[in-house]
Chains A and B, each alone.
Chain A
Amino acid sequence: MFGRLDWSAIPITQPIPMITSVVIILVILGALGLVTAKGWWPYLWREWITSVDHKRIGVMYVLLGVVMLIRGFADAIMMRTQQAMAIGGAQGYLEPEHYNQIFSAHGTIMIFFAAMPLVIGYMNFLVPLQLGVRDVAFPTLNSVSFWLTASGALLVNISLFVGEFARTGWLPYPPLSEGTYSPGVGVDYYLWAVQISGIGTLMTGINFVTTVLKMRCPGMSYLRMPMFTWTALASSLLIVAVFPILTATLAMLTLDRYFGFHFFTNEAGGNPMMFMNLIWAWGHPEVYILVLPAFGIFSEIFSTFSGKPLFGYRSMVAATLFICIVAMMTWLHHFFTMGAGAAVNTAFGISTSVIAVGTGVKIYNWIFTMYGGRVRMSVPMLWSMGFIFTFVIGGMTGVLLAVPPADFLTHNSMFLVAHFHNVIVGGVVFALFAGLEFWFPKAFGFRLNEGWGKAAFWFAFIGFWVTFTPLYILGMQGMTRRLQHVNIVEWAPMLQLSLVGVVILIAGAACQVIQLVVSILQRDKLRDTTGDPWDGRSLEWATPSPAPFFNFAVMPNVEGEEAYWGIKQRATEEQQLAPEPNYAPIEMPVNSAVGVYTAFFASVGGFALIWHIWWLAGLALVAAFIGFVVFAWRDVHEFEVPAEEVARIDRARRAARAAVLAQLAQAKGTAS
Chain B
Amino acid sequence: MLGLGPLFLGGCSGGVLDPVGPVGANDAEILIDALLIMLGIVIPTILLAFWMAWRYRASNTKAKYLPNWSYSGRIEAVVWSIPILTIMFIGGVIWIGSYRLDPFKPLPSKVPPLEVQVVSLDWKWLFIYPQQGIATVNELVVPTGRPVHFKITSASVFNVFFVPRMGSMIYAMPGMVSQVHLQADKPADMFGVSAHFSGDGFSDMQFQVRSVPEADFAAWAQSAKGSSLALNGAAYAQLAKQSRNVQSYAYAAVDPQLFHSIAMMKTPPGPGPEPAGPGHAGREVSTVGRH
The finding on whether chains A and B are genuine partners in a shared complex, rather than unrelated, reads yes
Chain B residues with CB below 8 A from A221, complex form: none
CB-CB < 8 A to B31: which residues of A?
400, 403, 405-406, 409-410
Is B21 an interface residue when CB atoms closer than 8 A count as contact?
no
| A117 within 8 A of partner (CB) | no
Partner of B27, one of A342, A377, A408, A480: A408
B235 at the binding interface (Cβ < 8 Å): no
Is B170 a contact of A337 with CB atoms below 8 Å?
A: yes
In the complex, what distance in Å separates the CA atom of A323 from the CA atom of B282? 42
For B157, the chain A residues whose CB sits under 8 A away are: 173, 175-176, 181
A484 within 8 A of B: yes
- Which B97-119 residues sit within 8 Å CB-CB of chain A? 97-105
Instruction: With CB as the reference atom, state the residue of chain B lying closest to A562.
Output: B70
Task: Find out whether the CB atom of A400 lies under 8 angstroms from the CB atom of B34.
Answer: yes
Is B70 within 8 A of A312, CB to CB? yes
A175 adjacent to B279 (CB under 8 Å): no
Contacts known (A169-B197, A482-B197, A485-B203); A400 close to B35, Cβ less than 8 A? yes
Verify B8–A473 contact, CB threshold 8 A: yes
- B1 contacts the other chain (Cβ, under 8 Å)? yes
* B-contact bits for A475-500, CB 8 A (1 contact / 0 none): 01110111111111010000000000
Task: Say which one of B80-88, B124-132, B222-230, B250-258 lies at the interface with A.
Answer: B80-88
State the CA gap A393–B46 with chains docked (Å): 9
Quick one: given A374-B65, A403-B94, A409-B31, are A185 and B283 in contact (CB under 8 Å)?
yes
Q: Does A158 contact B (CB under 8 A)?
A: no
Alpha-carbon distance between A409 and B169 when the two chains are bound, in angstroms: 7
Asked if A385 meets B50 with Cβ closer than 8 Å, knowing A173-B158, A372-B65, A473-B12, the reply is: yes
Is A371 part of the binding interface, using a Cβ–Cβ cutoff of 8 Å? yes
Tell me whether B196 is interfacial, beta carbon within 8 Å. yes
Stretch at the interface among A5-13, A63-71, A622-630, A635-643: A5-13
A164 to chain B, nearest CB (A): 5
Q: A367-B49, A399-B90 are in contact. Are A308 and B67 (CB under 8 A)?
A: yes
B102 and A373: CB pair below 8 A?
no
> In angstroms, how far is the closest chain B Cβ from the Cβ of A482?
4
- A373 with B56, Cβ < 8 A, contacts A184-B282, A405-B31 known: yes
Cα separation A400 to B5 with both chains bound (whole Å): 13
A371 to B196, CA, bound (A): 46
User: Closest CB-CB distance, A198 to chain B, in whole Å?
Assistant: 23
- Please report the C-alpha to C-alpha distance between residue A483 and residue B269 in the assembled complex, in whole angstroms: 24
Interface size on A, residues (CB 8 A): 109
Residues of B within 8 A of A11 (CB): 283, 285
Assess the B94–A367 pair: CB atoms within 8 A: no
Residue in contact with A272 in the complex, picked from B52, B70, B158, B199, CB distance below 8 Å: B158
Q: Given the complex of chains A and B, what is the CA–CA distance between A119 and B17 in angstroms?
A: 38
User: Are B282 and A478 in touch, CB under 8 angstroms?
Assistant: no
In this assembly, does A307 line the interface, its C-beta being within 8 Å of a C-beta of chain B? yes
Inside 8 A of A375's CB, which chain B residues have their CB? 52-53, 56-58
* Those of B176-208 within 8 Å (CB) of chain A: 176, 178-180, 191, 193-204, 206
**B98: which A residues are within 8 A, CB to CB?**
342-343, 345-346, 349, 404-405
Given known pairs A399-B34, A405-B26, the reply for A476 and B284 (CB within 8 Å) is no
Q: Is residue A411 contacting chain B, with contact meaning CB distance below 8 A?
A: yes
Q: Does B173 contact A (CB under 8 A)?
A: yes
Kindly state whether residue B259 has any CB partner on chain A within 8 Å.
Answer: no
* Assembly CA distance A370 to B103 (angstroms): 47
Asked if A267 is at the interface (CB within 8 A of a chain B CB), the reply is yes
Q: How far is the CB of B52 from chain A (nearest CB, A)?
A: 4
B87 touches A357 (CB 8 A): yes
The reply to whether B265 and A404 contact each other, CB–CB distance below 8 Å, is no
Asked if A341 is an interface residue, CB under 8 A from chain B, the answer is yes
User: B1-54: which have CB < 8 Å to A?
Assistant: 1, 4, 7-8, 11-12, 14-17, 24, 26-28, 30-31, 34-35, 38-39, 42, 45-46, 48-50, 52-53
B271 within 8 A of A: yes
Question: Any chain B CB within 8 A of the CB of A96?
Answer: yes
CB of A572 within 8 A of chain B? Answer: no
Which of B103, B170, B203 has the most chain A CB within a 10 Å cutoff? Answer: B203
A525 interface residue per 8 A CB criterion: no
Are A376's CB and B284's CB within 8 A? no
CB atoms of A181 and B38 under 8 A apart: no
The segment out of A52-60, A127-135, A358-366, A506-514 that lies at the interface is A358-366
Contact A9 to B272, CB < 8 A, known contacts A365-B79, A388-B46: no
* Bound complex: CA A357 to CA B80 (Å): 7
Q: Are A392 and B46 in contact (CB under 8 A)?
A: yes
In the assembled complex, the CB of B210 is this many whole angstroms from the nearest CB of chain A, namely 16
- A339 contacts the other chain (Cβ, under 8 Å)? yes
Q: Tell me whether A266 is interfacial, beta carbon within 8 Å.
A: yes
Bound together, the chains give a CA A500 to CA B30 distance in angstroms of: 32
Cβ of B175 under 8 Å from chain A = yes
| CB-contact partner of B169 in A368, A381, A408, A481, under 8 A | A408
A367-B49, A385-B50 are known; give 7 further A-B pairs, CB within 8 A.
A97-B284, A308-B67, A349-B95, A357-B80, A376-B58, A403-B97, A472-B8
9 contacts between A and B (CB under 8 A): A7-B281, A308-B70, A356-B83, A396-B42, A399-B87, A402-B94, A472-B8, A482-B202, A483-B203
